[in-house]
Structure 1
Amino acid sequence: MKKLFFAVLLYSSVACAQNKDYTISPVSFTKVKLADQFWLPKIETNRTVTIPASFERCENTGRVKNFEMAAAKSGKFCTKFPFDDTDIYKTIEGASYSLAVHPDPKLDHYLDSIITIVGKAQEPDGYLYTARTIDPLHPHPWAGPERWVRENELSHELYNSGHMFEAAAAHYQATGKRNFLNIALKNADLLVKTFGPGKRHVAPGHEIVEMGLVRLYRITGKKDYLDLAKFFIDERGKRTYDKTSTDEWKNGMYWQDNEPVTDQDEAEGHAVRAMYLYSGMADVAALTGDQEYLTATDRIWDNMVSKKMYVQGGIGAVPSGERFGSNFELPNETAYNETCAAVGNVFWNQRMFLLHGDSKYIDLMEKVLYNGLISGVGLDGKSFFYTNAMQVNPGSKVNKSLEAVRSGWFECSCCPTNLARLLPALPGYVYAQKGDAVFINLFVGSQANLQVNKKAVKIIQENNYPWNGLLSFTLSPETPQAFTLKVRIPGWVRNEAIPSGLYSFEKNQPASVTIKVNGKPVKYAMQNGYAVISRVWKKNDRLAVNLPMEVKKVIASPSLAEDAGKVALQRGPIMYCAEWKDNDGKVSNIVIPKGTTFTPAYHAGLLNGLTVLSGHVLKADTSDTSKIQPVRFTAIPYYSWANRGKGEMTVWFPEVAGTGTVSEKKTMK
């Protein structure tokens, strides 16, 4: 515990010594102890199932063996991709976060043993890339004949480094041990010697090294790391591509390399690469004050949210290249929505909030977390989706190649290990601070121990979110003190389906939010989506917030022609879908007429416990859509689908069958 305290103290002192940084600071996940009925079981499953399974699969698939062969400089790279090293790094990162809040000597020892294997694979000058080191004369085909020569596209050498830096920083901060950190710093120093003005120039083909370098800068205070992160970002747009080509690989868009980042105004290319780039830009902008970066990230975020995002928060619509499509290119049957892109979207929106303090970024982050992100992992904690579909019809010729069944592992297993590292860090997204203002961003049952004006404040949050909007907070400062509490009032309460006009609620009915302190209604001001309450807080003051949860119908912008005349269902932050299991084996012919109402009910024994929506709708005859009949209908949270076998699923429902208008009178009474 002393080591952990020292690590956190060092991190804080370095951060405070910097001249510039995010104007808002997240409350560390080590200061927030969860007691949440929704997230805690998922994080515990991640700790006890997902992380051990990930390590086991890293061993069974040869990922660990690659490091052992690199240390021996003998053998043949035995997995498929040169970035397979990162699956070990990401799992170490997740395990480190878990270890920080749940001490486990056995896991601690195992991590040390894996780190030893990784360290032995590192070359004397710091280079660490098993796809070349095992047999330098016959490296992986994507690697190129020499170091770095294909880094701008497929080698992933710097991508591997970035994930290693993230993992080493997490391990150091969790344990205080330097064994992994020293490996990372040796590699980072090699990058500083190799790249930069007057040295080798490259725009990394798969971003994340920028984020990783910033993590190391925060720990060490070594400005070379921050400068190199900015250098890599500034190198984008300098390579010669065929600007006349519509092929994203040939014109540079796939790599976000078609123009300088400060000139870019659309979310483009490979969606995961994009999220890591924009997150890195936000980090560097915060630490350097680069206003052009800020302007560009704002512009790109607006484009993504208003033109390139699915209703459940998914991004990256196009399977070919796992990439963003054109504006409003959001097909349902072929939707890609990679789980890693959802992880990256959480990273980026957290950073955008820390820059601007606007709740819209947390609104979007919440939508991703509760829907398009956790849909990527099965309820068993060891089966996964790489892609997250919007519509599944096993008989369709259009989307037959998309995933309708979860897999235990993938040849490219970036998504399972990305989830393994994000989930245990979730407590760090709940609260944030700016001066004497405390932000409550996520409604997650927990106890937080903060320092406000250098005095201890404890906040106990209790709720049954996301199934119920009654929120309770008990505030206990060590002595009575004045400070400001900023409680996010979600967009879905304020009649905003998403922070843009891309999706909206069918009925314009903002809900009335009730806020009480010690049982009495309290006046508050609304600011950037937050209810702002400034007062002298005393021990055991109780704040109660009631967020009315109604079932709402979501409609799409007219620009999304495929969703015209259709509705999606939302209650609170949860998006719903219909699955074959609950609807007589078929959902592709369901019609939800205007005026249809739904009843929410919690089912403790269904899919680990959740609230379902039920009502009476219509089903069209598959051979004659003009023929319809009333039926009982059940919708489940989108995140929970595909845990009961293979079959149809859909998120969007037509309000009209065929060409005729469906009358409300034909619904069941």
Structure 2
Amino acid sequence: MKNLSTESLFKYVKVTDEFWSKYQSLVNDVVIPYQWNALNDNIENTEPSHAIKNLKIAAGEAEGEFYGMVFQDSDVTKWLEAVAYSLANKPDPELEKIADDVISLIGKAQLDNGYVNTYFTIKEPEKKWTNLCECHELYCAGHLIEAGVAYYHATGKNALLTISCKFADHIYDVFGNEPGKLAGYPGHPEVELALMRLYEVTQNEKYLNICKYFIEQRGQQPHFYDIEFKKRGETSFWHVHGPAWMIKDKHYSQAHIPLAEQHEAVGHAVRFVYLLAGVAHLARISKDQEKLGICKILWDNMVNKQMYVTGGIGSQSCGESFSCDYDLPNDTAYTETCASIGLMMFANRMLQLDTNSKYGDVMERALYNTVLAGMALDGKHFFYVNPLEVHPKSIQHNHIYDHVKPTRQQWFGCACCPPNIARIIGSIGNYIYSIKDDGVLVNLYIGNKTHIELPQGQLLLEQNGNYPWQDSIQIDVSPTMPLRTKIALRIPDWCHSPILFINDQQQELESIISQGYAEIDRIWKAGDRIRLSLPMDVMVIRGNPLLRHADGKIAIQRGPLVYCIEEQDNGAELHNIRLDSTTKFETFTGNGLFAGKTLIKADSVRIGSQDAQLLPLYSYNQPKPETKKQELILIPYFTWANRSLGEMRVWINEK
């Protein structure tokens, strides 16, 4: 086995972890078949997808009109990518045959010059590449390319990879600063990270160069979006926020100024992290320190001033966008599931560039909270938006909550999130480790067996534990022959008293921790064993004083999991509950829906009266309302809304 990039590790990392094995089985057995039915319009009472039908029409195998979003093709290719990971995890000839047939369909829909896009092939063939700002052609190309790379790694079949290369060659021929080419770049970044994945497989310099061109051309003057807008007679595609809003608001697509001049996370959150994932990937491959610096500046602003405690990003519904520093409302939070998935992709690439646990900490926070919350425990219902506070009665009547759903949906007309969740869970093996020239980083504590080819030799690792519920991790190290290398273990920011043993000998951690990783540099022999304890105390979190939405409130975390309270356990009107930060928190194992999951209980008080509706709306000079004791039950945030409709809160008023 040759040296692997981290992004192809999924094939060699076999997840054995109880928690994640269940999730991968859910994806294999339920989510992928369910989403296949959705793509074929076989789910009752949901918005139709028509995505497979669009492909059949474009391929000449059916008649009809295009239906759906301009980016509808990406639902199919993200699903194909999820299938690729599923086949690597669990071979399934029937599923592979379905996927191969879809790939064949894409091949038939591909034009002679390599172009693939059912919207423009069927509906507006004369308008190809005339509206990069608004119309997602390169975004769809990116997801097709990612699927091609993943399917090749998983199955060894190159049909979709060949389609991807042909399309990427066409893109290279169309775009650039040379005479006769379009000096443009995507409105919705995605193709950049895809082109870097394609480059790593093919080593074709064209793909690296066109990726670099898209990144460096972005935001240059005269502005390409204005040029193409005039060329097409000042017509715009989207009118939801007014004519040409996306063209006028160039912050939305991170195209207001060149990327090297940007210092704040702005615009559409998914676009931002997809773009920066591509920049980080390019920086690593090309050893570009300037681009690494750009990534660090924008990472720090996003994480330190614009990220929710759940790892969600993109606080406002208008444009699915970032707002400004410290503007993180809880009940109107947008925090799209795809944004946290993109955040994981960005974090993972930063770990390959810069050994610093802060990237792994955020990757873990996003994964165990917002990403997992995006899908119900049944695998058939999904959140697009992930608020931190829900009051269903208000949602019915107040239009500021139009984007908030108090229960997960079966499907969406804009269904980017469901297949994205499937592909991230299927590819979780890509995120556990980072391979470095001098060794291996252990980023996530997920039980698995893997073998990694290092320059020094082959290393076999077997990781076991019951994370995120229990704090003990064991890693058995079995090199094929004694070899010297580093194994670096991430010490999470939430753990203040880690304990490390190697072959039953406790280690002095202070002397070996660097940038949040415990670096063990030694000659490893078969039978060596690492044991790491990460005590999971229940922790009280307070927001920065500038974070007004958390003022007077506390949040609760244990291990990587943020907890919340729900009406089903604690009654309605959760804003009347007061929690003392010094109270004793008690953990216990749930049952039923929460079987095997750690829950938390604590004493709290509830203010108000059962007869509150008899009181006037406002009272003058009245004493503070009475309080009564109440036992409070907290559940992991990712499990909320899996029962009946009810209120939910992450931030709890402090007593």
**Greater alpha carbon shift after TM alignment, 256-265 vs 428-437:** 428-437
Question: Does the 8 A contact of 1:490 with 1:529 survive in 2?
Answer: yes
**Could you say if the C-alpha distance between residues 122 and 423 of structure 1 is closer, same or farther in structure 2, counting changes exceeding 3 Å?**
same
Q: Which amino acid aligns with 1:449?
A: H
CA displacement at 1:380 relative to structure 2 = 0.5
Q: Distance in 2 between matches of 1:279 and 1:601?
A: 39
Runs of 5+ consecutive residues of structure 2 not aligned to the other structure: 42-48, 227-241, 616-623
Select between 214-223 and 248-257 the one with higher mean Cα deviation.
Answer: 248-257
Q: Which of 404, 414, 417 pairs up with 1:415?
A: 417
Whole-Å Cα distance in 2 between the matches of residues 388 and 306 of structure 1?
A: 19
Match of 2:458 in 1: 456
The partner residue of 1:571 within 552, 558, 569 is 558
Q: 1:387 and 1:597 mapped to 2: Cα distance? A: 33
SS in 1 for 2:111: coil
Contact 1:432 1:440 in 2 (8 A): yes
Change (3 A) 1:401 1:189: closer
For 2:11, which of 30, 38, 58 is the aligned residue? 30
Give the distance between the partners of 2:182 and 2:246, measured in 1 at CA: 25
CA-to-aligned-CA distance 1:285-342 (integer Å, 9 cap, x gap): 1222333221111110010011101011100000011000011111111000000001
Equivalent residue in structure 2 for 1:90, among 59, 78, 84: 78
Match runs of 1:91-490 below 5 Å: 91-136=79-124, 146-152=127-133, 154-198=134-178, 199-238=181-220, 239-240=222-223, 250-396=248-394, 397=398, 398-399=400-401, 401-490=403-492
| Displacement of 1:187 | 1.2
CA distance in 2, matches of 1:645, 1:570: 24
Structure-2 change in CA distance of 1:456 and 1:224 (3 Å): closer
Shift of 1:453: 4.4
Amino acid of the structure 2 residue aligned with 1:404: P
**2:30 is equivalent to residue 41 of structure 1:** no
What amino acid maps onto 1:520 in structure 2? Answer: Q
Of 173-182 and 264-273, the range deviating more from structure 2: 173-182
- Alignment partner of 2:404: what SS? coil
> C-alpha distance in 2, partners of 1:536/1:402?
54
AA aligned opposite 2:589: Y
* Partner SS, residue 366 of structure 1: helix
**Cα distance in 1 between the residues matched to 2:114 and 2:403:** 41
Indicate how the Cα distance of structure 1 residues 179 and 233 shifts in structure 2: closer, same or farther if over 3 A, else same.
Answer: same
Which letter maps to 1:31? Y
Partner of 2:641: 642
Pick which of 67-76 and 441-450 moved more. Answer: 67-76
TM-score, length-normalised on structure 1? 0.88
- Listed one character per residue, the Cα deviations across residues 221-276 of structure 1 (whole Å, up to 9, x for unaligned) are 1111111111111221125489xx9x775231001010000101111100001111
Q: Secondary structure at the residue paired with 1:471?
A: strand
Distance 1:255 1:90, change over 3 A: same
Amino acid aligned to 1:325: S
Q: Is the 8 A contact 1:76 1:134 kept in 2?
A: no
Q: 76-85 or 375-384, which moves further after superposition?
A: 76-85
| Alpha-carbon spacing, 1:546–1:619, altered in 2? closer, same or farther (3 Å) | same
Instruction: Answer yes or no: is the 8 Å Cα contact 1:316–1:325 preserved in 2.
Output: yes
How far apart are residue 521 of structure 1 and its match?
Answer: 1.2
Query: What SS does the corresponding residue of 2:594 show, helix, strand or coil?
Result: coil
Decide whether the 8 Å contact of 1:579 with 1:586 is kept in 2: no
Aligned counterparts, 1:480-629, within 5 A: 480-493=482-495, 511-524=496-509, 525-621=512-608, 623=612, 626-629=625-628
Could you list the per-position Cα deviations for residues 8-66 of structure 1 after superposition, in whole angstroms to 9, with x for gaps in the alignment?
x5xx59x7xxxxxxxxx567122211111111101110111111111111111311010
Match of residue 504 from structure 1: none
Residue identity matched to 2:93: P
Confirm or deny: 8 A CA contact 2:334 2:403 kept in the other structure: no
Q: Any conservation in 2 of the 1:314–1:342 contact (CA below 8 Å)?
A: yes
Aligned length: 610
Cα deviation code 1:347-393 (max 9, x no counterpart):
00001111111111001100001001110000001110000011000
State the distance in 2 between where 1:90 and 1:39 align: 20
Instruction: Using the TM superposition, give the Cα deviation of residue 69 of structure 1 relative to its aligned residue in structure 2, in angstroms.
Output: 0.9
- Counterpart CA distance in 1 for 2:425 and 2:632 is 32
Higher deviation after alignment, 470-479 or 42-51:
470-479
Most deviating of 107-116 and 598-607: 598-607
Other structure's SS at 2:470 match: coil
Which whole-Å CA distance do the structure 1 matches of 2:417 and 2:7 have between them?
25
Structure 2 equivalent of residue 651 of structure 1: 650
Secondary structure, counterpart of 1:487 in structure 2:
strand
Which amino acid is 1:638 matched to? Y
Task: Tell me how far 1:212 sits from its aligned partner.
Answer: 1.4
My pick for the range that moved more, 267-276 or 279-288, is: 279-288
- Using the TM superposition, name which of 170-179 and 628-637 deviates more: 170-179
CA distance in 2, matches of 1:312, 1:471: 24
Question: What residue is the counterpart of 1:64 in the other structure?
Answer: 52
Once the two structures are overlaid, the 10-residue window that deviates more, 100-109 or 639-648, is 100-109
Is the alpha carbon distance of 1:62 and 1:253 closer, same or farther for their aligned partners in structure 2, counting shifts above 3 Å?
same
Residue 461 of structure 1, CA deviation:
1.2
* Seq. identity, %: 38
Mapped to 1, the partners of 2:201 and 2:480 lie a distance apart of: 30
Q: Deviations over 1:58-103 (max 9, x none)?
A: 1113110101111229744443201010110001001011112321
Identify the residue that residue 620 of structure 2 maps to in structure 1. none
SS of equivalent residue, structure 1 residue 214:
helix
| Counterpart Cα distance in 2 of 1:126 and 1:435 | 37
Any idea what SS the aligned residue of 2:95 has?
A: helix
Task: Give secondary structure in 2 for the equivalent of 1:556.
Answer: coil
What amino acid maps onto 1:588 in structure 2? H
Indicate the larger mover: 632-641 or 206-215. 206-215
Q: Which structure 1 residue ranges, 4+ long, deviate > 6 Å from structure 2? A: none
Classify 1:214/1:641 alpha carbon distance in 2 versus 1 (closer, same or farther; 3 Å).
same
Q: Which ranges of structure 1 fall in alignment gaps of 5 or more residues? A: 16-24, 140-144, 494-510, 657-669
Q: Determine helix, strand or coil for the equivalent of 2:192.
A: helix
**Which residue identity is paired with 2:533?**
N
What is the CA–CA distance in structure 1 between the aligned matches of 2:19 and 2:258, rounded to whole Å? 42
Where 2:523 maps in the other structure, the secondary structure is: strand
109-118 or 434-443, which moves further after superposition?
434-443
Partner Cα separation in structure 1 for residue 83 and residue 300 of structure 2: 34
- Give the Å deviation of 1:608: 4.9
